[in-house]
Amino acid sequence: LNLLINNAGVLAGPFALSQDNIELQFATNHIGHFLLTNLLLETMKKTSQESNAEGRVVNVSSWGHHFAYREGICFEKINNESEYNTIQAYGQSKLANILHANELARRLKEEGVQITANSLHPGAIVTNIARHHSILNVFSNLGKFFVKNVAQGAATTCYAALHPQVKGISGEYFVDSNKAKASSLAQDAELGRKLWDFSTSLTDPKQLGCSA
């Protein structure tokens, strides 16, 4: 296993909890990716070592990470329905994608593993992801004349995952197949470490009600 692209996503839905009692956007857009990556990472390390080929983890984030809550990640209020905002909750989850990739990149580099981790904004793409939000859905339908189709929207993801020019590059954020600058919160290493610890606690088998 050389390549992992984390691209599950929901956008601006009404407040809901996942089966594991985690706010649904955060659970789907970040926690699921975090857990899947951790479950597959040892296999990726083994593949990289045996094949002497670079492994790549790619998190599909969004420019929407700029809409995160002021503090970035509301660790103590993840499941607080009274303070839930559909767009800010989405922004929070997309910010988490970038922070996760950056912290993973740091850890892999420190470990000396030949695996990179990057994040990206695919662009505004015509999909049904905005179906839960009436205003966004209207703009999405109008935007069919201005935004990318699915093939164009996949270009940056494919670039980060497969292009030789990205070899050895890790902990970066890409837009239109180029390195780009994410928000200041997305570049906060301490916030990334805190998110890692928080996500680890949420994916602990005991926390999820799983028996050993």
CA angle 190, 62, 167 (to 5 degrees): 75
The residue with greater pLDDT, 71 or 138, is 71
**Mean per-residue pLDDT, 156-165:** 98
**Active site (annotated) includes residue 84:** yes
Distance CA 26, CA 202 (A): 11
98, 160 in Cβ contact below 8 A?
A: no
Residue 90 pLDDT: 96
Catalytic-role residue among 84, 90, 159, 173: 84
**Mean per-residue pLDDT, 141-161:** 74
Residue spans of beta strands (DSSP E) within 105-175: 115-121, 173-175
The pLDDT tens digits for 195-205 are 999 999 999 87
pTM above 0.85, yes or no: yes
- Cα dist. 60→117, 138, 184, 207, 208 in Å? 11, 23, 18, 26, 25
Asked whether the predicted pLDDT for residue 141 surpasses 80, the reply is: no
CA angle 104, 110, 115 (to 5 degrees): 55
Residue 212 pLDDT: 46
In the chain, the domains with their CATH numbers are 3-200 (3.40.50.720)
